[in-house]
Structure 1
Amino acid sequence: MDLIEAAKAVRENAHAPYSDFKVGAAIRAASGRVYLGVNVENVAYPEGTCAEAGAIAAMVAAGETEIREVAVIAGSPMPVTPCGGCRQKLKEFGAAEVQVHMATMDGKVEVTTIGDLLPGGFSRDYMS
């Protein structure tokens, strides 16, 4: 399954009545299964959730905890990057070298890694 196409398709289900900025995310887990998420806005803005967080929650709910690849798409003029909080969430479940594909609706794509998105991120190593 093409992750960008999966993220693009699910993006249509985003709940973004306030910003009209719909985001879709697709995560391929270690099993190869793909988990999807969309942003869900709330009239009390801080209570909304990001597409990446939704996809991660779906993956964890299915019993998986390892991300192998990520795609995020939005209707912006340039590829949208995951927010700071989602970068930390991706780091929790994905190795530094995991690729993150960031795309626009008109076909622009940039590829980076979780490690490049969050250098020096907080990890379980600090918890020992």
Structure 2
Amino acid sequence: MTDRDTLIAAAREALTRAYAPYSKFHVGAALAFADGTVVTGANVENASYGLTLCAETAAVARAMNDGVRGALMAVAVTGGPLGQLGDPVAPCGRCRQVLSELAQLGGTDPLVWCAGASDVTEFRLSDLLPNAFGPASLT
């Protein structure tokens, strides 16, 4: 599996590709899978605000479109105004749900590293989204 510092560096690189002309809050995310695959994403805003994609959702969509499913081991998220890092940022509720579904496909509970300028907080996804709704909830 990709180590913490490498995954955070990938999220920081993704942050440079954010399109955030409205909020000016740039976010990058990186997903690490058991086979060593790393998939990144950046937030993509839209003038119709509800159509905006968060970095984590963009990364999950990219992974799914590339056929990378299951065995999600870790997630790194970083962001800040105009790409300037400050305190660690955590995935929003929508992104927690999207990440949870991807993790549930492989039966994993990934680490989530929220990286700021100098601090990193670590959670398990299940701690950020306890009692998550998922595919098994539909049966």
Give aligned pairs, total.
127
SS of equivalent to 2:10: helix
1:83 is displaced (CA, Å) by 0.7
Are positions 1:85 and 2:89 aligned together?
A: no
- Hey, what does 1:31 align to over in structure 2? 35
Question: After the TM superposition, which residues 1-128 of structure 1 pair with which residues of structure 2 at under 5 Å, given as runs?
Answer: 2-66=6-70, 67-75=72-80, 77-94=86-103, 95=107, 97-104=109-116, 106-128=117-139
1:96 is displaced (CA, Å) by 5.7
CA distance in 1 between counterparts of 2:123 and 2:132 reads 16
Unaligned segments of structure 1, at least 5 residues = none
CA distance in 1 between counterparts of 2:112 and 2:14 reads 17
Q: Specify the code of the residue in structure 1 equivalent to 2:74.
A: E
1:107 is displaced (CA, Å) by 1.9
Change in CA separation of 1:40 and 1:14 when aligned onto 2, cut-off 3 Å = same
TM-score (ref. length: structure 2):
0.86
Unaligned segments of structure 2, at least 5 residues = none
CA distance in 1 between counterparts of 2:9 and 2:68 reads 22
CA distance in 2 between counterparts of 1:116 and 1:96 reads 13
CA distance in 2 between counterparts of 1:125 and 1:47 reads 28
Judge which range, 92-101 or 25-34, deviates more. Answer: 92-101
Q: Do the aligned partners of 1:96 and 1:116 also contact (CA within 8 Å) in 2?
A: no
Runs (4+) of structure 1 moved beyond 6 Å?
A: none
Please, what is the CA RMSD of the aligned residues?
1.3
TM-score (ref. length: structure 1):
0.93
